[in-house]
Structure 1
Amino acid sequence: MNASEPLLHASQYLQTLQNYWWPFCRILALFSLAPLYSHKALSMRVRIVLALALTLALAAALPEVGAIDPLSLAGILTTLEQIGFGLLLGLSLQLVFVIFAVVGEVISTQMGMSMARYNDPLNGVSSSSIVSQLYFLLLALLFFAIDGHLLTVSVLYQSFIYWPVGSGLHYPGFETLIYAMSWVLAAAVLITLPVVFCMTLVQFCFGLLNRISPAMNLFSLGFPMAILTGLLCIHLTLPDLPEHYLHLTRSLLDNLGALMRSPLHG
């Protein structure tokens, strides 16, 4: 080697940084939508630090990235591609939490507790029902109980195996996400169906009582009975919550696995 030749070239540094930059974009995008990672109690600085730490831990085990100039148009498109993959995975993993958020809203409305709302930092809205927050706290405990944070990392690593950097966005991923919205609504309806039936039966009975005795003040009697019946239904259905959560999570992971193993361009 010529003594005047530099030991390391700037291009070598750039190539090394590429192996960390593309995974970092995908990981940070996933953390912006993944369950619990996207909670507003977790600041952006903490998410960036977690994404950097996870990038350093996974970069050596990820497939090699081809020579792509990060400052070229192809490099910009590759960055957008990684962000798209991360958002797709994060939104897919969030669907189970969305199901129980819908369940909480439906039950709260049936109980007449729609006015009992407070700030919801998870979804970034001004208010959320108390029942939805109850389900969220229980799901958060179940998420850590089944090592959901490690499962998220495993899904992320598998995404780099089946969707390597530079493979390009593909239509089946977005098509599957659109179909998943109907899956969310169907699962929420099935879970809330027993509670909705009981609450409808109670309201029907009080409506019938109002026809029989119009002089009775149903506002002072009906609302407390509806709330007590709703709380009783929640108490009776809560023991089945872990089973429902595990079943929905297993279905979600099966769908994600089938999506990742599908052809990249279809």
Structure 2
Amino acid sequence: MNLALIDILDKFLVVIWPMLRLSAFLAFTSIFSMRAVNMRIRILLAFSMAFVVTQQIDIPRIDPLTAEGLMEISRQILIGLTMGLVFQVASAALVVAGQAASASMGLTIANMIDPNMGNVPVLSAFFNIMGTLIFLGMGGHLIVFGLVLESFKLLPIGQEFFSQDMLGKMIHWSAMMFLGALLIALPVMMTLLFINIGLGFVARAAPSLNIFTVGFPALILMGFVILIMSMGNNVARIQWIWTQSFLMLRSYLGE
């Protein structure tokens, strides 16, 4: 009985190290941390992937109760959080794009509660749902799982992770939150800017005309028209953002 318990404990200590990294990634990344993917599913998914990792690579025997073990626990959780941050920035780009488009259309008051992002405009929730569907449609979940499993070969357990180059990459990648939002919201923002300029000329030429009665409905209507017309391009831009996320995650891992 004692031998069996020792064997079970030894196997548990082997599985716990990859599971720490995988659990932190699944808990922090934007796609798999949704309410639809509850905690039980995430724990089961992390355990299954950790078991697969233990069959492919050699896991070092590290006692988690020692100082070295505590440092390794912090390191694995930090690696998982850093990899999840890549997709948090991509999702934030969709939210910022919705906020910019809503501000141009006058829909900033039309908000809804998003379990992941909090109180966001309706267009942000729409872009977020569209981004999730595009992510799943292009097989992003399979690509992510492959990259995360490959991270244990490119960045083995026990190896240092953070460096000055890594911090530079993180700061550089954070700019994607604004670049991606600009690419998605630019057609709506530019079109409504020219409409506002035209309404300003009309208000100047005819001061007695109540321009707000005509302008607000026109801005909302034209905003939705431009949004529908640019839907195809927005799909390509969102797909490009996810592709850049995969490349950045690979760059984090040292390739």
**What does residue range 21-36 of structure 1 map to in structure 2 within 5 Å?**
21-36=16-31
Secondary structure of 2:112's aligned partner: strand
Secondary structure, aligned partner of 2:245: helix
**Residue 3 of structure 1: aligned partner:** none
Bigger proportion of residues as helix: 2
Query: Deviating runs (4+, > 3 A) in structure 1?
Result: 6-9, 12-15
Work out the CA distance in 2 between the residues paired with 1:64 and 1:236: 53
Please state how far the C-alpha of 1:74 moved relative to its aligned partner. Answer: 0.9
Given that 2:135 and 2:242 are in contact with CA atoms closer than 8 Å, whether structure 1 keeps it comes out as: no
Over residues 208-228 of structure 1, what are the superposed CA-to-partner deviations in whole Å (9 max), with x where a residue is unaligned?
211111221122211100001
1:164 aligns with 2:159: no
Taking every aligned residue pair, what percent have the same amino acid on both sides?
25
Aligned-partner SS, 2:28: coil
* Matched ranges for 1:1-266 at <5 A: 10=6, 12-61=7-56, 63-123=57-117, 125=118, 127-171=119-163, 172-261=165-254
Measured in 1, the distance between the counterparts of 2:182 and 2:12 equals 48
CA contact (8 A) 2:94 2:180 kept: no
- The offset of 1:8, in angstroms, is 5.3
Distance between the aligned counterparts of 2:135 and 2:162, measured in 1?
Answer: 29
Query: What is the aligned residue count?
Result: 254
1:252 deviation in Å?
Answer: 2.4
Aligned mates of 2:144, 2:151 — CA distance in 1: 11
- The CA distance in 2 between the partners of 1:182 and 1:42, in whole Å, is 28
- Alignment gaps of 5+ in structure 2: none
Distance 2:79 2:190 in 1: 40
Give 1:166 deviation, angstroms: 0.8
Which one-letter code corresponds to 1:247 in the other structure?
Answer: W
Shift of the alpha carbon at 1:174? 3.1
Whether the aligned pair in 2 keeps the contact of 1:39 and 1:122 (CA below 8 Å) is yes
Distance of 2:205 and 2:141 partners within structure 1: 56
Query: Is the contact between residue 34 and residue 93 of structure 1 (CA under 8 Å) also seen in structure 2?
Result: yes
Q: Specify the SS of the correspondent of 1:128.
A: strand
Q: Which moved more, 1:32-41 or 1:199-208?
A: 32-41
The CA distance in 2 between the partners of 1:222 and 1:135, in whole Å, is: 25
TM-score by length of 2: 0.92
8 Å Cα contact 2:25-2:83 kept in structure 1: yes
Which secondary structure does the structure 1 equivalent of 2:208 belong to?
A: coil
Contact residue 41 and residue 121 of structure 1 kept, 8 A = no
Gap runs ≥5 in structure 1: 1-5
The answer as to whether partners of 1:210 and 1:218 remain within 8 angstroms in 2 is: yes
CA shift at 1:9, angstroms? 7.3
* In structure 2, distance between residues paired with 1:213 and 1:53: 69
Residue identity in the other structure for 1:143: F
Between the aligned partners of 1:258 and 1:144, the Cα distance in structure 2 is: 22
Once the two structures are superposed, what CA deviation does each residue of 1:44-90 show, in whole Å capped at 9, x if it has no partner?
233222222222233212x2122311111111111111110101111
Query: CA RMSD, aligned part only?
Result: 2.0
CA contact (8 A) 1:95 1:184 kept: yes
